Structure 1
């Protein structure tokens, strides 16, 4: 299974390289390639530029996007941070959102986040119950009782509500989507590809930094 996941990662990176030629920075147009949120929302501290990734564990496009996004996030300049934010359109998505924030609370996002994607898209598990999700955590070194104490905690539930509020404020209708600093919404449909989403995000980050107009 690890080889399958690596194959997806390699394919995603090749896709990123293949789209290295496309719309130039000077050609990115508001309304055509990205949308301005009116009103926007406060994404983080005033001295930080936050790139919010809206995703769903059940979304195959998010699964292929994740390795690209992870590689890209390592290139972000100082003062810019990536904030994953699960979308919640139904009850199963709410459970998956709780799983993500439980992983954050337990400090195991680096291992559990990709494992949840892999379980659904490679191992073909539905992860439709708390017990199934618990199994993923335990398989990745989390004590079962610690998971039980966190998954329905006030802190996790609060994070889920905040994530849902961000989805509504961003008017997200599909995944994966990116919002730069609570102002600019980027989708693959408008940007032209997942690779272009990241190129456009770089452009919008530079705008927020005052490097370009």
Structure 2
């Protein structure tokens, strides 16, 4: 009886939204006015807009990594670095270089840790070039890509998409080019992926109709 009473008290302490799991526009997410075309229409696209220097993005990263481990085959996940300030540019370029050179999976979480745990700013070309040598990328190879047309093109494309999404801060999760989920709309970082999963299932059901 005592265990039952304790369980009841714990249940009452859980926020209602945590087990309601019934989200709507303005409650959990916001609907993007003009849907943005996704890269692969056959899949449900999830894009995380981030900045390496953002403490909230850093706090979300372990949740993102855990969520990605159980990613369904019909879901296509992508990171997209934002440039909402001049000092964000170096970090965005570093991400695109890592992606082009095939080391993004190895480097991504380490980049967050270098900034938020080790106190490194990681916002100069020299510092980033040295950091990339830890992943088998020579400084010359890094610099060649860092200032390349390919990286600048990706920056422009990302900027255009982020504007189209209507995102004004980070972190932000875009589901299938139609919905924006933030800590503010979801009620905190811990609930972001509950909302994302809800929207994925909503999109999945809609495609099967």
Aligned residue for 2:49, secondary structure, equals: strand
CA RMSD of aligned residues (A): 2.0
Does residue 24 (structure 1) correspond to residue 15 (structure 2)? The answer is no
1:42-87 per-position Cα deviation (integer Å, ceiling 9, x unaligned): 1211101110001000001111111110110121211201110011
Q: Is the 8 A contact 1:115 1:136 kept in 2?
A: no
Measured after TM superposition, the shift of residue 23 of structure 1 is 4.3
- Show structure 2 runs of 5+ residues with no match: 1-13
Aligned residue for 1:78, secondary structure, equals: coil
1:111-160 per-position Cα deviation (integer Å, ceiling 9, x unaligned): 22122111110111112211111111112321112111111111111111
Of 165-174 and 196-205, deviating more is 165-174
Of 163-172 and 95-104, deviating more is 163-172
Measured after TM superposition, the shift of residue 183 of structure 1 is 0.2
Of 52-61 and 189-198, deviating more is 189-198
Aligned residue for 2:47, secondary structure, equals: strand
Paired with 1:135 and 1:200, the residues of 2 have a C-alpha distance of 38
1:15-47 per-position Cα deviation (integer Å, ceiling 9, x unaligned): xxx98x81422x212122210001010121110
* Pairing 1:92-171 to 2, within 5 Å after superposition: 92-171=87-166
- Show structure 1 runs of 5+ residues with no match: 1-17
Q: Number of aligned residue pairs: give it.
A: 195
Q: Is the 8 A contact 2:35 2:178 kept in 1?
A: yes
Paired with 2:83 and 2:118, the residues of 1 have a C-alpha distance of 23
Does residue 173 (structure 1) correspond to residue 168 (structure 2)? The answer is yes
* TM-score scaled by length of structure 1: 0.86
Q: Is the 8 A contact 1:177 1:186 kept in 2?
A: yes
Q: Is the 8 A contact 1:112 1:136 kept in 2?
A: no
* TM-score scaled by length of structure 2: 0.87
